[in-house]
Each structure stands twice: as C-alpha cells, then as structure tokens.
Structure 1
Amino acid sequence: MNRKGISNTIIAVVIIIIIGIAAVTTYYLTLPKPGEGKKVGLIIATGGLGDKSFNDISYAGVERAKKELGIDFDFVQPTAISEYEGFQREYAKSGDYELIICVGFDQADALTVISQEYPTQNFALVDMVVGESNVASLLFRTNEASFLVGVAAGMMTETGKVGFVGGMDIPLINDFFVGYEAGVQWANPEATILEPVYVGNWGDPTKGKELAKSLVDLGVDGIYSVAGKSGLGALNGVNEEGVLGFGVDACQCYLYTENIPVSMTKRVDVAVYEMIEAAIEGNFEGGIYSKGLADEWVGVCRLPGEEGFWETEFNFTHPPLETDVEDKILEAKDKIISEEIAVPTAY
C-alpha cells in the first residue's frame, strides 16, 4: 500500500472512532435519569431560606438531586412550629412524593403523628429521631467535626482562652461543645475553655453579640458560635472585637473572612441527596442513620475536599490557613476516622 493509501486508511479509522464516540455519548445523554417523573417534598425549618446555613444547605441537596437524578420537588417554608403538622399532612395526603424531607429537630412531634397516619409514605427527618418504620432519622456526629474546630481554636489562640456561644442548653448543642472542648485540649493542653454560654433561642442576634463580647471581656480570643441566627450576632461581635470566630453548619467564613478562619460543616446536602437516591431507586429504609467524618456527613470547610464547594456556593475566597493548623486538623481527622481518637459526646 502506498503512502496515500495508508493516510486514507488512517483518516477513515479516525472518522469511524469519532462517529462511535459520538454515538455512545448521544446514547448516554439521552438515557432517562432514574428520578424522572418522580417528586420529593421538602419542608424547611422555621427561619426559611437565605440563612446561608442549615436550610440553604438542605435545599442544595434537593437541587443536586434534581440536576443529577432528574427528580422534581416542591418545598414550603413554615414560619412557626405550629405549621409543621399541617404541611406534613398536606404533603402526605397528596400521595405525590417518593419522599418527604422534614428539616429540623422541632418537626419531630408533628412527624410522630403524621408518620402513623400515613404508614406507606416515606419520610426523612433531619436532626431528630422518630421511631416509625417509614421514617429515616438523619443524625450527624457534630462532636467529631467540632473536635476539628477545637483543634483550630487551640492552635490559633494567643490569650490561651477560648469560648462557646450556644443557642440552647440542650444535648443537640452540647454535643458540639464537648467535641470542641476535647479538640482544644488535644491540640493545646495549656489552653482554657470557658464554660459555655447560651442565648436561649435561635433568633436573637443582639443577645448573641452581647454574649460574645462578654467572653472577649474575660480574655477570650476564639469563640465557637452554634446558635442559628443568634450565632450571626455572636460572629458579628467577634468581628467588631477583632478576635477569632468559628462558624457552624455551613461555611460561615464568608461573613468575615479575616476573623472566621474555619467553620464546622454539617453536610445536610449530602445526607438529603443520599436519602432521595435511595427512595427513587426503591431502596429506602426507615431507621436511624448516624454518620460523621468517615461518611462525609460532617467536616470543616477548610478540608481539601470541601473548600472549593463552599467557595463556589457562597462566591468568596478563603484567606490562607496556616500550614501547621491545617496539618493538625487533617491529623486529627484521620485519627478520629481510624478510632485512634475517641471523641466524647453529650448523648
């Protein structure tokens, strides 16, 4: 075969390969997504969307399921706890939903009633347990990720004193504190962790700021804020005082990039997505799901696998984190996952 013939053969082979790749690509692009024609219901916690935290991240998980799995969804934003039962009943009665997701521990009482009224409807409850077989109770080992926040606080404090502002004095919040306290002590045994202070509710940023400033007056230069919208006030106080703050649930570093180096992340988006995927594939099972660092249901926003997600989600850039702090956080994470470190819990 002459040179021209060889060239024509090569060209023909390349064309065949290109056509084959295009055909395969077209085939996979036109395959129906597993969730097409299926719908999910989302009942947001009081406080609504726009919190750049718990509710927004829950919603992000459902949006991801729409994009990747092809589901459709409805959502509602109750303004009071008393509205939960009505919305849960309305969604369940319709029969339209493969899964109804209830966000927030304070939906548990209503869901205890509704899950019994509609035993064939699948529900997922975030942050609390309902014992019915048609309810998946999603719990997050927040103590594990809070340990990592404590590592950062212990290493970055200059006064040797750190503090904690909680929303309410309940086990759910104290689980953050005991993990945080243990992380501080592990990273810096010489540091002092002051007794936690509590706002008393989730929606009082003024009091949150007052409590944060009162801790600063006691010499604290690092404050972990776990108090919902009240915690936004605490972080504002941190910024005004020029000390360090640590956010919660979502990456709150975008609020004050120079004063919030690390946030604990509760990956409700990941948990919600996994439950939706199970429901549309017919693999949903009720019961208690308690997951932590090993399953990526919790973390901190400065971990290499998370940082880009949060920066894209909230459109900001973290300042550099000291290498020794990041290395210590990663060391602690690995030791928690391998069970070399046993993190205490408030439960």
Structure 2
Amino acid sequence: MKRVGLLSLLLILVFPTLSVPTHAATPILIGIAYDIGGRGDSGFNDAAGAGVDRAIKVLSVKFESTVTLGTQSDRETRLQSLVDKSANPIIAIGSDYAPAVDVLSGKFPNTQFILVDDASVAHLNVTSIIFAETQGAYLAGASAALVSKSGKVAMIVNEKQSKLFWNGFNVGARNAKKSVKASIAFANKNYAATAKDLIESGVDVIYLGVRGSSTDVLDEITKLNLAKNRKKNAPMAYLISVTPDQFLRVSPQSKEYLLARIEKRVDTAVFNIASAAANGSQYLDIIDQTSGIYGHVFGVSDDGITIDIRSKLLEPYAKQIAQAKKQALQVKG
C-alpha cells in the first residue's frame, strides 16, 4: 500500500495538470416549423434550412423539424408536436404561423417560441425576428440611381409599404445622385402592368418591394427591352427584386435585366438564433414597448439585409454601394 501511495504522489508531482476527461454537454434540441412545402422551395424554407445546416456543422445543437399543410389547426398541431419532443426553443418560419404561436405560447409558457418575419405576438416567451426592410429599400434606391440613364427610377409597393419608399428608396436614390427622380407606384396585383406603365413613362430601373411577382415583372421588362417597336434612343430597363422569393424564375434571356436582389438573410437569422440558444441566451431587444413585443431586427449591420449584385452594370459603383451600406445604418423604419 505504501508503494501505491508513493507512486500516486510521484504522478501528481510529475503530471500536475493531468485531468480526467469529461463527457461533452448534451446538444440542445431546437425545433423548427417550416412553412408549406418545406425545404426545396427556393424561398424562406430553403433560406432557413441553410441556417440550420450551418448551425449543425459548427454548434452543439440538434434540430427537430416539421412542415405544415397550411391550415391554422395544422400549424398548431405541428408546433405541439415539437413541444411534445421537448424542443426548446421552437422556430416558426413565416408570419402565417403568428396565430398558432399565439395559441401555443399561451399554453406552454416555459417554451420559447421564435417567430421569423413577424412582430405581432405579445407574449414574454415569444421572440419576434424581423428585418430592416427600409435599409434594404435604401440600398435599392441608391443602386437604381447609380445606373439609371433616364434619371427616373421607381419602386412598386402595396399601400402598407409606403414608408419603405419615403424613408428608404427615395432617400437612397437622392443621396446617390441628386439629379435622379424617384417615384412610387402602388399595386396589389398585376405588377407587370404597373411596371409597363412606369417604363413607358421613362423609368429605367424598378425596385419591386413585394415578393411573389418578380418573374412576371422581369418577363415584362425583358419583353419591352426586346420589342421591335421599342423607341430607338430609349434606355434599357432593369429590375431590382427582393429575396427569398420562391416564385422568382430567371431565364437566360431575362437574367441580363436583373440588376440586383435585396436579400432578407433568413439563413443568418436562424443560425444566430441557434448560436444564442446554444449559449443559453436569446434576443430580447425592444421592438414595440407599448405592445410588449421583443426580439431582434436584423439589418445591414449584422448581415440580416444584404444586396446581391447580379449585373456588371453595378460593378463600377462598388465604392458608392459600400458607402450606401454605411448610410443605410442610419435609416429608420
């Protein structure tokens, strides 16, 4: 026994930093409820999935996923299934989940729900994740003004989005080139017809601030640019779209007229949410103090809003666009 004690003492003296290996912490289980169609939609679901894939590679997290059929009752059932599997937090992709999150967060106060692209549910256990779309509109306005030959650019929005023009697109265009005139066009459907009217009035760059109709507008722009009866000295027209947009289809013919895309980086948001959860934290910024809504607004500063340059026409203006990104940080919704 004395020899064993002496040997132990010698080991301690020789290897003072020797330690017994410990088991790694159990990965946190995060639930994610995709919108209709799930991954493979080239839209919000795929963007969210990219964030999930990145998180699995570099973080100590696991994901349990589900896909809704689209009805209110099914959305509630899908969220309930994630609660039953002890997922916490649970990420719901898209504003259509808001009513279901409202119901489930009331039933399960100890589960944190994260609602992406919506800020309408006022529960302490609901984190709202939205995007600084006005900053994106600013970048679109600046980009449009920089390449415009006619000196006329426009933004197509619905009536609820007018602030995106006045506080974003219009300011960005004016700051980039004071001689450019920016206009706004309201439309709730038939965006292609609105685009045609704008182009015929002399507008040569259009920012479509809504998702779902980019293909129709881009096709109309392409048709007008290639028309045989097109005015000889009329400048070519171009589109700036928003993404994710699962309905955007670009053909070899139309891709020439897609100037840029303003991106809501849902992938960045999902990854950062997972990273915070892995560290035992969450986003609790004040979004609407009066209503009691908390979460985070992803913008240019944290790569939640980016511009994807698709045309060589913008390449000479790299410095101006970099400056516009800095200026966009000061833009308020």
Distance of aligned partners of 1:336 and 1:223 in 2 relative to their CA distance in 1, 3 Å threshold: closer
- Between 286-295 and 118-127, report the one with greater CA deviation: 286-295
Does 1:292 pair with 2:299?
Answer: yes
Q: What amino acid is aligned across from residue 188 of structure 2 in structure 1?
A: V
Which residue, out of 177, 184, 189, partners 2:165?
A: 177
- Which runs of structure 2 are paired with 1:237-248 in the superposition (5 Å)? 237-242=220-225, 243-248=237-242
Pairing partner for 1:186 from 175, 179, 183 = 175
2:243 alignment partner, SS class? coil
Q: Which residue of 1 aligns with 2:129?
A: 138
Of 27, 30, 33 in structure 2, the residue corresponding to residue 40 of structure 1 is 30
Q: What is the deviation of 1:150?
A: 0.7
Are positions 1:264 and 2:262 aligned together? yes
1:115/1:326 CA distance change after superposition, 3 Å: same
Pairwise CA distance, 1:273: 0.8
Answer yes or no: is 1:85 the counterpart of 2:76.
yes
1:35-87 deviation line (CA, Å, top 9, x unaligned)? x6433222223465444333321221111111222533233333435242332
3-state SS of paired residue (1:332) = helix
Provide closer, same or farther for how the CA distance between residues 81 and 154 of structure 1 changes in structure 2, counting only shifts above 3 A: farther
2:105 is the alignment partner of 1:115: yes
Aligned partners of 1:225 and 1:38: how far apart in 2? 40
* CA gap 1:74/1:215 in 2 versus in 1, 3 angstroms: farther
Residue 103 of structure 1 is matched in structure 2 by: 93
- Does the 8 Å CA contact 1:165/1:234 hold for their aligned counterparts? no
| Separation in 2, partners of 1:333, 1:90 | 41
CA contact (8 A) 2:69 2:75 kept: no
C-alpha separation between the residues in 1 aligned to 2:191 and 2:188?
6
Residue aligned with 1:52, SS = coil
1:235 aligns with 2:227: no
Aligned equivalents of 2:37, 2:195: Cα separation in 1: 22
Percent identity between matched residues is: 26
Query: Residue type of the partner of 2:308?
Result: C
- The CA deviation string for residues 179-222 of structure 1, in whole angstroms up to 9 with x for no partner, is 1121112222232323222235xxxxxx3333322322332211
Structure 2 counterpart of 1:90, one-letter code: S
Question: CA 1:264–1:89 in 2, change beyond 3 Å: closer, same or farther?
Answer: same
Q: Secondary structure at the match of 1:229?
A: coil
* TM-score for both structures, normalised by structure 1: 0.72
Distance in 2 (alpha carbons) for counterparts of 1:219 and 1:47 = 40
After superposition, the Cα gap between the structure-2 partners of 1:209 and 1:86, relative to the gap in structure 1 and judged at 3 Å, is: farther
Gaps of 5+ in 1: 1-30, 201-206, 303-317
User: How far apart are the structure 2 equivalents of 1:232 and 1:253?
Assistant: 6
Kindly provide the CA deviation profile for residues 295-318 of structure 1, in whole angstroms up to 9, marking residues without a partner as x.
Answer: 22112124xxxxxxxxxxxxxxx5
Rounded Cα–Cα distance in structure 2 between residues aligned with 1:227 and 1:137: 21
In 1, the alpha carbon distance for the partners of 2:57 and 2:250 equals 26
CA distance in 1, matches of 2:123, 2:63: 24
Stretch moving more, 39-48 or 51-60: 39-48
Tell me the CA shift for residue 163 of structure 1.
2.1
Describe the shift of the 1:48–1:229 C-alpha distance in structure 2 as closer, same or farther (beyond 3 A): farther
Unaligned runs of 5+ in 2: 1-22, 226-236, 285-293
Q: 1:97 deviation in Å?
A: 1.0
Cα deviation code 1:68-126 (max 9, x no counterpart): 2253323333343524233223322x143122111222322221121111111111111
C-alpha deviation, 1:250, in angstroms: 4.2
After TM superposition, give the deviation of residue 321 of structure 1 in Å.
Answer: 4.3
**Cα offset, 1:138, TM superposition:** 0.9
- Cα gap change, 1:288 to 1:330, in 2 (>3 Å): same
Instruction: Give the counterpart of 1:249 among 240, 243, 264.
Output: 243
Distance of 1:51 and 1:40 partners within structure 2: 22
* TM-score, with length taken from structure 2: 0.75
Contact 2:215 2:250 (C-alpha < 8 Å) held by counterparts: no
Check if 1:225 corresponds to 2:200. no
More helix by share: 1
RMSD: 2.7
Q: How many angstroms does 1:229 deviate by?
A: 1.9
1:62 equivalent in structure 2: 52
Structure 1 residues 300 and 175: alpha-carbon distance in aligned structure 2, compared to 1, 3 A threshold: farther
One-letter identity of the residue aligned with 2:185 = P
Contact 1:226 1:247 in 2 (8 A): yes
Note closer, same or farther for the CA distance 1:146–1:97 as it changes in structure 2 (3 Å cut): same
Residues 45 and 55 of structure 1 are in contact (CA less than 8 Å); yes or no, is this contact kept in structure 2? yes
Secondary structure of the residue aligned to 2:281 is coil
